[in-house]
Amino acid sequence: MKIGKIPETVLKRSVLKQIRHRRDEVLLGPAIGEDCSVIGLEGDEVIVMSTDPITGTVEDIGTLAVHITANDIASSGADLIGIMLSVLLPENSSEAELKTLMHDIDKVCEQLQIEVIGGHTEVTKAVNQIIVTVTGIGKMKKNLLIKTAGALPGQEIVMTKWAGLEGTAILAKSMEADLLSRYSAEFINQAKNLIDYISVVPESKIARELGVSSMHDVTEGGIFGALWEIAAASRVGLEVYLQKIQLKQETVEICEFFDLNPYMLISSGCMLIVTDKANLLVERLKEQGIASAVIGRITEGNDRIVINGDERRYLEPAKSDELYKLM
């Protein structure tokens, strides 16, 4: 199999079909497009959990690890309490690297007002670079749960920030020497600084206060992959206008340099929100300094279409992320 997320057909056939639902407390389990699981408690509260590894880069790995899991929890509408870590270090790792990693992780936890509540750390021959896996634990009222699978025909799709945000920052750091052959150091630093926009926690709070049906943070597979996942999870179609999908100029330039598709580039920090109040949501986000745009709508049926002028193309399930062509 290729590097990256496994194909949807393989996920269905060899993973999801092997899993059985046995516990009544598990209210939401593994499914296409769903990044969180939900466990019911006594009363009206539920525990929301999500887990993610960072494997595509070692640049800013501590920062990315926490934010990506926090984004998943936020997309469900829950408040994150804390995280558990699994840190696997290759044999040549130093204690200084581990200390820096944990400092970066705790710095993000301080920003989000959460805690590291446990985990495991070891040096192993099984890896050739640092691997960090984060499991996030949040809580919320059961009746406020937001699923990826909540999109309904007639609703509109709001996108926050910019497609390819995370991938652009990773490439600017890891491929800086190559990029300096064409671009200025200032331009590359601007691309690196996109990492500062990696959290979707602020927009998730605004969205859930306004009322939304579905939220999904855009990760591997990029904006095209995330759109497919919302539609597949909700069993609906969609129409999206390519020219309304927001891109930073740094992303456009860097993707052209490496011959990558920015719409299929890992995009943590960008969120898709499905709502009946799209224009009002965009206004509320703007008031808080968060860029956003209405990029399309949910439709009946199963056709998932991207419109670019007179051209109409059909979306496909997410393939290997563009980042892996270089990393």
pLDDT of 100 over the 80 cut:
yes
Confidence grade of residue 4 (pLDDT, cut at 50, 70, 90): low
User: Does any domain span residue 246?
Assistant: yes
| 3-state secondary structure (DSSP) of residue 116 | strand
- Give the residue from 144, 170, 193 where a domain finishes: 144
156 and 103 in a single domain? The answer is no
d(CA 227, CA 158): 11
pLDDT one-digit tens code per residue, 198-215 = 999 999 999 999 999 999
- Give the residue from 109, 144, 179 where a domain finishes: 144
How many domains does the chain fold into?
Answer: 2
User: Does any domain span residue 2?
Assistant: no
Q: How many C-beta atoms surround the C-beta of residue 300 within 10 A?
A: 10
181 and 291 in a single domain? The answer is yes
Q: The domain containing residue 92 runs over which residues?
A: 8-144
CA proximity to 293, closest of 260, 246, 261: 246
pTM of the model: 0.87
197 and 310 in a single domain? The answer is yes
Q: pLDDT higher for 256 or 320?
A: 256
| 3-state secondary structure (DSSP) of residue 298 | strand
- Give the residue from 110, 128, 144 where a domain finishes: 144
User: Does any domain span residue 181?
Assistant: yes
Q: How many C-beta atoms surround the C-beta of residue 147 within 10 A?
A: 21
* Beta bridge pairs of residue 80: 138
C-alpha triplet 173, 123, 105: angle, nearest 5°: 45
193 and 232 in a single domain? The answer is yes
pLDDT one-digit tens code per residue, 131-166 = 999 999 999 999 999 999 999 999 999 999 999 999
172 and 272 in a single domain? The answer is yes
CATH classification of the domain holding 239 = 3.90.650.10
